[in-house]
Amino acid sequence: MLESGNNPPKAKSDTTSASGNQPIRIGVLAMQGAFIEHCRMMEKLGCECKQVRKPEDLEGLHGLIIPGGESTTIGRLMDKFKLFSAVQEKVRQGLPVYG
């Protein structure tokens, strides 16, 4: 119970990683769909955004967004650029993915 005149503690709402010394780095799969808009929103929220087009772009990310789009086309492009298996491996390693 809070006493009169005391303010409740505020939740930490910054966008630094769990280690506290680097910004949260979010990747957005940049194959098709509204990837530019997703990156802009992440940056507006204070995150560092990286457009992901090849497997090495997945390194150092704290999360990945897969924007909507035509799934057959996205799947083919991911396969063509060797991203499908790379994303699967990152998911197995615990990378949070939205999309």
pLDDT tens per residue, range 2-29: 334 444 333 344 555 566 667 899 999 9
Task: Report yes or no on 34 lying in a domain.
Answer: yes
Assigned domain for 52 exists:
yes
Distance of CA 67 to the CA centre of its chain: 11
Q: For the chain, how many structural domains are there in total? A: 1
Which secondary structure element, helix H or strand E, spans residue 83, and what is its range? helix 83-92
Domain contains 61: yes
Domain assignment present for 6? no
Partners of residue 49 on adjacent β-strands: 26
Backbone φ and ψ of 25, nearest 5°: -110, 115
Q: Is the residue at 59 inside a domain?
A: yes
> Rounded to two decimals, what is the model's pTM?
0.75
| Domain span holding position 72 | 25-98
Does any domain span residue 79?
yes
CATH of the domain at 78: 3.40.50.880
User: Each residue of 46-86: pLDDT tens digit?
Assistant: 999 999 999 999 999 999 999 987 778 888 888 898 999 99
In a domain? residue 19: no
Domain membership of residue 10 (yes or no) is: no
| pLDDT on residue 64 | 97
Q: What six digits make up the tokens of 88?
A: 């699967």
